[in-house]
Structure 1
Amino acid sequence: MRSALIVGTGAIGTSIALALRAGGVVTHLRDTDATAARTAEEVGAGITAAPAGPVDVAVLAVPPAAVATALAALQREGIARCYTDVAGVKALPEREIEALGCDPTSVAGGHPLVGNGRPGPLAAKPDLFDGCPWALVPTERTADRSLNIVLELVSLCGATPVLLDAERHDRAMALDSHVPHLASVLLGGRLRDAEASALRLAGQELRDVTRGASASPELWAELLSANAAAVADLLEVFAEDARGTAAVLRTPGVPAATALLDLPRRGAQGQTVVPGKYGVPAASLAAVEVVVGDDPKEYAQLLGDVAKTGVSIDDIAIERSAHRGTARISLTVPVAGEPVLVSKLRLRNWPVRGG
């Protein structure tokens, strides 16, 4: 791949552009928001000048409802040899692309699975996709040359391709993302009328579960509408589970107690199959907690000492306790590295919980 056009210079589009630029690809940028495109250019994501001829690939980093119309316009322009997108749903764009009579041979749909961070080109990172899954959703009419170019794009971004069809992708998103977000939203909505005394008792578990409720309502309304059938099917299954649990709770006796014990067991069993970050099995990771002073200098000192241990860190979480002036830093590491990290940090007099 020698050249690309990124249409849409938000955080995702600009991150793709930065990754391609790092791989030596000449990257052109286009956005209806001229300021966003110029900002992406200024951070080194590419150039806003139009390409002199067709590029190898055009990436449509636009909302799901805009994919088909944007694709049709780009194909009329003859701007690229193949096209892909990053929309979080696939069946709707696929149907609309067919309805508009677009050339399907040059299209291979895509969806990088990364967390929702800050929006805009200034939030972009060239390593955003490192080790992340990237769904590729070609149709039966997608040409091999088109799929191969998009596979090369995914590789240049450092992601892991996962090939599947549109319906399977959207069902997976309902389970992995859309219904969990709705659960966060529904619980968050219940908090509006909660008593002040109840909210004063709120702990980390409630904050974790409702964190997603603060995401863009407009974005999520579009995603849920576009994947309505798959989300509704799964919600109905969950509703049946909830009603069954409520019935058990209202039935006293030993059978009810046994059923209530089985419920968290099944949940725990299901949770164990969820992979950790970068596809690493969650069971192969361990958490090491260190309580430090709530001071950036102490954070930096701890991370410096962690680096000296040579143990790789998969993830870091910080929970502050402002009234105590402390912070609890949780370091997620490979299981094999846990005893090494604990031992070496204790030698440096850090108060470690783990091992």
Structure 2
Amino acid sequence: MSARTSGQVRVVGTGLLGTSIGLGLSSIDVDVVLDDVSPSTLALAVDYGAGRRAAEGDRPAIVVVAVPPDVVADVVAAELALHPEALVTDVASVKAGPLAALAAVGAPTERYVGSHPMAGRERGGPIAARADLFLGRPWVIAPHAGSTPEQSALLESLALDLGAVPVRLPADRHDDAVAVVSHVPQLVSSLLAARLVDAPDHATDLAGQGLRDTTRIAGSDPALWVQILSANAARVLPVLSDLRDDLDAVLAALGDPAAPGAQRTLADTLAAGNDGVARIPGKHGIDLRTTTLVVLVDDRPGQIARLLTEIGELGVNLEDLRLEHSPGAPIGIVELAVLPEVAGGLEADLQRRGWRVA
């Protein structure tokens, strides 16, 4: 694959995102220069092949700042001064704040366009980085009054080189959106997981995939999320307030389930959740209704690989896949999400091949 990105790319900050960007671009022969205030973190990213150390005479065309949110504006300002011919972007999860901070100190914002890849992992650092981290994920590019369409196009090329899907969105609209789809879900997941701290062992022993799904992101770095939530507090707060109002209504209904309207409140709450889930895009970027088949798989090496191979032989495209296995159980559960029109045929074909479909 030939790179759309032309010229040298400088990545400042070699944590999860910075190192993943370096790995992805280096794999298609883009000249990536890495920098980090931590010598050991920088050395690890270089050893992993994410790029090379900065050298005399480097002249980047694009600078990507991938540092913690509370220092983004300072580092972007420094890079704008250090590289007067480069377009500078950052990958922080809040966009309005850095732009305002740069304007306040008189930085040349005409060479700055913020961006935000909607990708990540619960673990951080260069050791968790992956070249395919951004594959199929939205990458928001936030143009502003002082930027040009050509600059946004340069960042779109970079995003496409990393397998991401570029989306142009002004900073304010971006911050409103991530409050709903990223920042509040992190808090809700953390609050739910916190209920497990004092839960008895017999309760956690019963935990299934539903609990794992809803608490997965609760394993994220608290220090990083304190910065993110603080930076976007004004937009997170009203979403949480609405959530609190909904929770108050559920509490009232559960307080007296026999009261008039209580059952409807519960039903409407659950139905609204169904409607919300239906709006989450499928893998093809559109609202997608799927049917789930549950296949029981023996706890032996190679069984899941065999199942997926046979589904491929049947010519069926999976829309989603989930695995569940309880410690000590002799079987695992594989949930296959497929289009409704192929579900019946797939179920029959799998059963004919000896698979147990629940």
State whether residues 35 and 53 of structure 2, in contact with CA within 8 Å, keep that contact through their aligned partners in structure 1.
yes
- The verdict on how the C-alpha distance between 1:56 and 1:268 changes in structure 2, with shifts beyond 3 A counting, is same
1:265 maps onto 2:267 in alignment: no
Contact (CA 8 Å) 1:131, 1:279: kept in 2 or not? no
Write out aligned runs for 1:76-225 (5 A).
Answer: 76-78=81-83, 81-225=86-230
Secondary structure of the corresponding residue to residue 29 of structure 1: strand
Deviation at 1:171, TM superposition (A): 1.4
Q: 1:250 to 1:300 in 2, by over 3 A?
A: closer
Alignment correspondent of 2:41: 36
What is the identity percentage for the equivalent residue pairs of Structure 1 and Structure 2?
37
Distance in 1 between residues matched to 2:188 and 2:9, nearest whole Å: 38
Rounded to whole Å, the distance in 2 between the matches of 1:334 and 1:79 is 51
- CA drift of 1:300 comes to 2.9
Q: CA deviation at 1:190?
A: 2.8
Q: For residues 244-279 of structure 1, what are the alpha-carbon distances to aligned partners after superposition, in whole Å with 9 as ceiling and x for unaligned? A: 222333353343223332221222122211113452
Q: CA deviation at 1:231?
A: 1.0
1:281 aligns with 2:287: yes
Using a 3 Å threshold, how does the CA distance of structure 1 residues 135 and 145 change in structure 2: closer, same or farther? Answer: same
- Could you say if the C-alpha distance between residues 261 and 98 of structure 1 is closer, same or farther in structure 2, counting changes exceeding 3 Å? same
Q: Report the more deviating stretch, 165-174 or 44-53.
A: 44-53
Give the whole-Å Cα distance in 1 for the aligned partners of 2:22 and 2:325: 35
Give the stretch that moved more between structures: 95-104 or 193-202.
193-202
Q: Could you say which residue in structure 2 is the equivalent of 1:255?
A: 261
Unaligned runs of at least 5 residues, structure 1: none
| Change over 3 Å in CA distance of 1:210–1:126 after alignment to 2 | closer
CA distance in 2, matches of 1:51, 1:180: 44
The answer as to whether partners of 1:105 and 1:142 remain within 8 angstroms in 2 is: yes
TM-score by length of 2: 0.89
CA contact 1:134–1:161 (8 Å) conserved in 2: yes
1:282 partner SS:
coil
Q: Contact between 2:80 and 2:111, CA under 8 Å: does it hold in 1?
A: no
Q: Is the 8 A contact 1:60 1:86 kept in 2?
A: yes
Residue deviations 1:147-182, cap 9 Å, x none? 221121112112112212222111111110111111
Match of 2:237 in 1: 232
Q: RMSD of aligned C-alpha atoms?
A: 2.3
* Count of aligned pairs between the two proteins: 352
SS class of match (1:191)? coil
Task: Flag the 1:196–1:131 CA change in 2: closer, same or farther, 3 A.
Answer: closer
Structure 2 residue aligned with 1:324? 329
Q: Secondary structure at the match of 1:110?
A: strand
> Is 1:12 aligned to 2:17, yes or no?
yes
Contact kept? 1:135, 1:164, Cα under 8 Å: yes
- List per-residue Cα deviations over 1:278-326 (Å, max 9, x = no partner): 524231x333322112223323332333343343334332211333311
Specify whether residues 24 and 280 from structure 1 end up closer, same or farther in structure 2 by C-alpha distance, changes over 3 A only: farther
Q: State the one-letter code of the partner of 1:147.
A: S
Shift of 1:32: 1.7
Aligned AA for 1:82? L
CA distance in 2, matches of 1:337, 1:117: 34
Matched position secondary structure for 2:325: strand
CA contact (8 A) 1:133 1:278 kept: no
- In structure 1, distance between residues paired with 2:298 and 2:336: 16
User: What's the CA shift for 1:121?
Assistant: 2.3
Quote the Cα distance in structure 2 between the aligned partners of 1:195 and 1:245: 25
Q: 1:100 to 1:337 in 2, by over 3 A?
A: farther
Gaps of 5+ in 2: 1-5
